[in-house]
Structure 1
Amino acid sequence: MQEQEKIIKMFDDIAPTYDKANRILSFGIDIKWRKKGCQKALACFEDKNLELQIADIACGTGDLILTWQDKARQLGQKIQTIIGVDPSEKMLELAQKKIENAKFIKASATKLPFDDRQMDILSISYGIRNVLERKRAWQEFARVLRKDGILLVLEFTKPSDKGILRSLSNFYLHTILPKIGGFISKNKAAYEYLPSSIEAFITKDDFIKELDEAGFDIVFYDSFSFGISSMFVAKKR
Structure 2
Amino acid sequence: MRVKRIKIRKTFDAIADRYILANHILSFGQDICWRKKMCEKVSEHLKTNNLVLDIATGTGENFKYCPSKFKTKIGLDPARNMLLKARERFLDVTFVEGMAEELPFKNNLADLILVSFGVRNFENRQKAFREFNRVLKKDGIVAILEFFPMENGTLLNKAAAFYIYKILPYFGGLITGNFDAYKYLSISIQNFVSPEIMKMELEQNNLKVVEKEKIFPDVYIFVAKKE
TM-score tier by shorter-chain length is: over 0.9
Q: Give the equivalent residue in structure 1 for 2:220.
A: 230
Provide the C-alpha distance between the structure 1 equivalents of 2:143 and 2:49, rounded to a whole number of angstroms: 18
Q: Quick one: which amino acid aligns to residue 34 of structure 1?
A: R
Task: Mark the runs of 5 or more structure 2 residues left unpaired by the alignment.
Answer: none
Residue 182 (structure 1) shift:
0.5
Cα distance in 2 between the residues matched to 1:160 and 1:174: 13
Partner of 1:31: 32
Would you say 1:127 and 2:118 are equivalent positions? yes
* Cα deviation digits, residues 176-234 of structure 1 (max 9, x gap): 101110100111111111121111101111111111111111111211222x1110011
- Contact 2:12–2:79 under 8 Å retained in 1: yes
Matched, 1:219 2:210: yes
Alignment-derived partner of residue 20 in structure 2: 19
Identity of aligned residues (%): 38
TM-score by structure 1 length? 0.91
* Aligned mates of 2:149, 2:205 — CA distance in 1: 21
Structure 1 spans left out of the alignment, 5+ residues: 73-77
Quote the residue 1:10 is aligned against.
Answer: 11
Q: Is the 8 A contact 2:150 2:190 kept in 1?
A: no
66, 76, 88: which is aligned to 2:79?
A: 88
CA deviation profile, 1:7-48 (whole Å, cap 9, x unmatched) = 1111000101101100001111111111111121122135xx
Q: CA RMSD in A?
A: 1.4
Alpha-carbon distance in 2 for matches of 1:192, 1:55: 29
Deviating above 2 A after TM superposition, structure 1's stretches of 4 or more consecutive aligned residues are 159-166
Contact 2:53 2:110 in 1 (8 A): yes
Matched, 1:196 2:187: yes
> What letter is aligned with 2:33?
K
Q: More displaced, 120-129 or 162-171?
A: 162-171
What's the CA shift for 1:100? 0.6
Question: Aligned equivalents of 1:143 and 1:149: distance in 2?
Answer: 11
Structure 2 CA distance for aligned equivalents of residues 129 and 51 of structure 1 = 27
1:217 maps to amino acid = K
- What does residue range 13-162 of structure 1 map to in structure 2 within 5 Å? 13-46=14-47, 50-69=48-67, 72=68, 78-162=69-153
User: TM-score, with normalisation over the residues of structure 2?
Assistant: 0.95
Correspondence for 2:201:
210
